[in-house]
């Protein structure tokens, strides 16, 4: 039996993990940008 | 017939994209940009001020990514930079180029729409200056690369000031000049103790081309020029004594450390380059402290901040 710690990671699973974490960061950045644009619009009105 | 398995490389982690922006350099860029904005004689809405600093930071990150895209082969040959995402093989060059281009363009457009197109134009100029004039043109060609290229790092306080006031006056140009004259001794102190790396990859850094003696003399020359230049805002009446005294003390210490480096001859064997490392470390503290004193002086004395 192979110890799961010693066995190399499945490339597909690794690819999915990286893509998920990248998508999460891009989502956060886009959300932050939308909030920023909202506040800029309010600040520019004053 | 043989079946060949094609192994697709893994996509780069988001951390590698973040590393491309040179976060440590960015911290100094954010700080000096913020100081330019806070020391300006006009105040800016906090949201717009935050946006201006964010654009300066993102623009600097974009320029850094473009720099690493262009210099991937050079970085691979130097111990200090071999672990970066591109030379380490954790990212492909196209991704780095596209990422750098996207960040640069986004920072300029947001700055233009949200703050002012003058600030956006200076930000665009600083990105082109670093990514094209310094990285592509000067760095591989002349040992004066860091002198002229130092201008790229001198833009943030100028942009911060222009974002707050909307125009260019003498004071932000003096702040630009302070960083411009600070860069050569800062960078050449580093180049003195990593010169074998630069020589290996064929970058004509001053110690490699002109020799150590000439580099040490030039470090001293720039430190001498930096002393009166750093005190110019006080002499011009733009700041009070808090800044004036801080600038005199900090620039005096900078000059003392530079004298140690400037008049020194390296030991033929086993020289640990301690004075050079001390000067490099102090040069970073110097710039942080000098700009912090500028803002502290502005707030303590309250020199004419207008809404």
Question: Tell me: the pLDDT tens digits for B151-169?
Answer: 888 999 999 999 999 999 9
Whether B153 and B216 map to the same domain: the answer is no
Q: Measured between alpha carbons, how far is B276 from B253 in angstroms, rounded to an integer?
A: 14
Q: Residue A41 belongs to what H/E stretch?
A: helix A11-45
What are the pLDDT digits (tens) for B117-145?
999 999 999 999 999 998 998 888 888 88
For residues B71 and B241, what is the distance between their CA atoms, to the nearest angstrom?
44
Mean pLDDT within B259-266 = 89
Tell me, yes or no, whether B173 lies in a domain: yes
CB contacts of B54 in chain A (<8 Å) are: 36
pLDDT at residue A3, rounded to an integer: 47
Flag whether residue A22 sits within 8 Å of chain B, measured between CB atoms: yes
Of the partner residues B10, B11, B45, the one whose CB lies closest to the CB of residue A46: B45
| B42 SS3 class | strand
Residue B18 and residue B123 share a domain = yes
Range of the domain at B265: 169-300
Number of independent structural domains in chain B: 2
Nearest to B11 among A22, A39, A44 (CB): A22
Question: End of a domain among B115, B146, B167?
Answer: B167
Mean per-residue pLDDT, B32-53: 95
Contact yes or no for A26/A20 (Cβ under 8 A):
no
ipTM surpasses cut 0.85: no
* Residue of B203 and B292 predicted with greater confidence: B292
Q: Angle formed by the axes of helices B170-193 and B241-262, to 10°? A: 30
Q: Is B233 exposed, middle or buried (0-12, 13-18, 19+ CB in 10 A)?
A: buried
Q: Are B160 and B40 in contact (CB under 8 A)?
A: yes
pLDDT band at residue B5 under the 50/70/90 scheme: low
- Residue B5 placed within a domain: no
DSSP code at position B229: H
**pLDDT over 50 (residue B81):** yes
Residue B305 lies in a domain: no
Instruction: Among B10, B48, B51, select the one facing A14 at the smallest CB separation.
Output: B10
Residue B261 or residue B204, greater confidence: B261
Chosen for mutation from B9, B12, B14 (greatest number of chain A CBs closer than 10 Å) is: B14
Among the candidates B102, B136, B167, a domain finishes at: B167
Percentage of chain B surpassing pLDDT 70? 95
Q: Kindly state whether B167 is in contact with chain A, defined as any CB-CB distance less than 8 angstroms.
A: no
**Residue A21 with chain B: CB contacts under 8 Å:** 13-14
> Do B190 and B162 sit in the same domain of this protein?
no
Are B179 and B148 members of one domain?
no
What does the pLDDT read at residue B222?
96
Of the three residues B167, B187, B221, the one that is the final residue of a domain is: B167
CB–CB of B253/B281 below 8 Å?
no
């Amino acid at each position: 039996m192979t110890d799961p710690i010693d066995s190399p990671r499945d490339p597909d699973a690794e690819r999915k993990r990286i893509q998920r974490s990248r998508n999460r960061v891009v989502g956060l950045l886009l959300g932050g940008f939308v909030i920023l644009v909202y506040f800029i619009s309010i600040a520019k009105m004053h | 017939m043989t079946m060949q398995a094609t192994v697709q490389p893994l996509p780069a982690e988001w951390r590698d994209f973040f590393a491309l922006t040179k976060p440590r350099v960015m911290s100094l860029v954010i700080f000096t940009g913020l100081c330019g904005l806070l020391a300006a004689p006009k105040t800016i809405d906090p949201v717009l001020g935050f946006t201006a600093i964010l654009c300066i930071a993102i623009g600097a990150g974009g320029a850094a990514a473009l720099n690493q895209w262009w210099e991937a082969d050079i970085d691979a040959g130097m111990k200090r930079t071999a672990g970066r995402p591109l030379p380490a093989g954790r990212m492909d060059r196209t991704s780095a180029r596209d990422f750098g281009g996207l960040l640069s363009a986004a920072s300029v457009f947001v700055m233009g729409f949200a703050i002012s197109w003058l600030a956006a134009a200076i930000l665009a100029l600083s990105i082109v200056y670093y990514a094209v004039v310094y990285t592509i043109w000067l760095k591989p060609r002349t040992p004066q690369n860091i002198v002229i290229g130092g201008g790229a790092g001198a833009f943030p306080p100028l942009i911060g000031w222009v974002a707050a006031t909307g125009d260019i006056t003498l004071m932000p140009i003096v702040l630009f000049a302070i960083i411009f004259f600070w860069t050569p001794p800062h960078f050449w102190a580093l180049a003195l103790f990593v010169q074998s790396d630069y020589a290996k990859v064929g970058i004509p850094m001053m110690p490699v081309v002109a020799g150590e003696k000439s580099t040490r003399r030039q470090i001293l020359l720039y430190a001498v020029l930096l002393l009166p230049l750093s005190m110019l805002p006080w002499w011009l009446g733009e700041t009070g004594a808090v800044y004036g005294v801080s600038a005199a003390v900090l620039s005096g210490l900078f000059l003392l450390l530079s004298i140690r480096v400037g008049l020194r001859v390296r030991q033929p064997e086993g020289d640990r380059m301690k004075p050079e490392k001390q000067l490099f470390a102090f040069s970073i503290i110097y710039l942080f402290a000098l700009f912090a004193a500028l803002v502290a002086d502005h707030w303590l004395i309250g020199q004419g901040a207008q809404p």
